């Protein structure tokens, strides 16, 4: 047994080293490759559009607002083309598709389709949520992703390219508000189905699963406003169960979590996107961030009765549970 241990260590080291070398191989000239990215007004989409433009790729950047288009055009080369896009509107998606198809060279398809557009959704506790809150969040994070992918897939297939979609570590661990979690679990399932069904077509599918990073999607003031509005709409019995101080306690917990977990190193997510688009052998999944790789990985690996205690220890107790 002890004689085998050094051999096992050597084999593991060789395997990990070989994997790193293989994964580090990059595609050659990128100037003939075209990528379409959704949600480029701000955040990861904006940063990725600039990164790929600087690498010489041809970028179609989907933006929700005219200001987003103008600001991005000023910050990039003339190679980058902005496209008006609302992922919740099918007509907008089809118009964007027609524009991209018309501007692509006749013999080219899309090397990359990047589903990046996303919203945080209403931050209230589950019992306070309305069906409309779920619809609004899923319209962007899930149905928008599905619609964009379905419409643009023929262009990706033509180039035997890649579909790269951002989900979240909350597609594995249900920590933050339920509309967001539901949308991300759904996005994970959609991407897995897509990867299996396109396996023999030459199109590959890749998922980016970030932890908490400092972007505009994290807005404490908006979260508190949503909670107070939702609380006022509750029945008196529900208000009594949670108590008047529950929101303040929940916000204190949220602020503490943000201070502990939110990383300013947004470039790590952009690096993952870039690798998925430019590596010869990209990964199927990219778990990004210290919190995602250590804390949250521990939670989804442990038995539920342990993971549940770790997660719920961060939440304050409603007034109706104080004596339990």
Q: What are the residue numbers of the active site?
A: 180
Strands across the sheet containing 204-210: 81-84, 58-63, 34-37, 112-115, 162-166, 204-210, 285-288
Residue 140's alpha-carbon distances to 38, 148, 150, 187, 194, in angstroms, are 11, 10, 15, 11, 18
Residue 259's alpha-carbon distances to 206, 213, 264, 285, 310, in angstroms, are 30, 11, 11, 27, 18
**Residue 138 near residue 182 (C-beta atoms within 8 A):** yes
CA-based torsion, 85, 86, 87, 92: positive or negative: negative
**Residue 39 near residue 65 (C-beta atoms within 8 A):** no
**Which residues contact residue 265 at a Cβ distance below 8 angstroms, ignoring those fewer than 6 apart?**
213
Residues in the chain: 324
Cα–Cα distance for residue pair 12/140, rounded to 1 Å: 42
Pairing type for strands 112-115 and 81-84 reads unpaired
């Amino acid at each position: 047994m002890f004689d085998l241990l050094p051999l096992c260590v050597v084999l593991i080291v060789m395997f990990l080293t070989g994997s790193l070398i293989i994964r580090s191989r990059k595609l050659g000239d990128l100037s003939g490759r075209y990528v379409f990215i959704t949600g480029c007004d701000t955040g990861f989409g904006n940063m990725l559009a600039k990164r790929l433009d600087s690498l010489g790729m041809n970028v179609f950047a989907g933006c929700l607002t005219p200001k987003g288009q103008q600001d991005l055009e000023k910050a990039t080369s003339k190679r980058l083309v902005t496209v008006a896009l609302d992922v919740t509107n099918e007509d907008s998606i089809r118009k964007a598709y027609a524009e991209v198809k018309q501007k692509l060279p006749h013999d080219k398809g899309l090397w990359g389709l990047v589903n990046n557009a996303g919203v945080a959704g209403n931050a209230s506790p589950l019992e306070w949520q309305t069906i409309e809150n779920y619809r609004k969040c899923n319209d962007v994070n899930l149905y928008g992703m599905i619609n964009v992918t379905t419409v643009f897939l023929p262009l990706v297939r033509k180039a035997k390219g890649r579909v790269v979609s951002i989900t979240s570590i909350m597609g594995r661990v249900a920590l933050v508000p339920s509309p967001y979690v539901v949308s991300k679990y759904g996005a994970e399932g959609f991407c897995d189905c897509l990867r299996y069904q396109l396996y023999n077509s030459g199109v590959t599918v890749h998922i980016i699963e970030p932890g908490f990073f400092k972007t505009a999607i994290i807005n404490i003031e908006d979260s508190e406003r949503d909670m107070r509005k939702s609380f006022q709409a509750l029945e008196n019995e529900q208000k009594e169960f949670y108590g008047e101080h529950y929101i303040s306690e929940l916000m204190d917990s949220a602020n503490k979590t943000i201070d502990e977990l939110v990383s300013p190193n947004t470039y790590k997510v952009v690096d993952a996107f870039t690798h998925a688009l430019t590596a010869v052998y990209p990964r199927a999944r990219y778990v990004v961030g210290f919190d995602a790789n250590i804390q949250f990985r521990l939670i989804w690996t442990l038995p539920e009765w342990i993971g549940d205690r770790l997660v719920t220890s961060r939440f304050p107790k409603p007034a109706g549970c104080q004596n339990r």
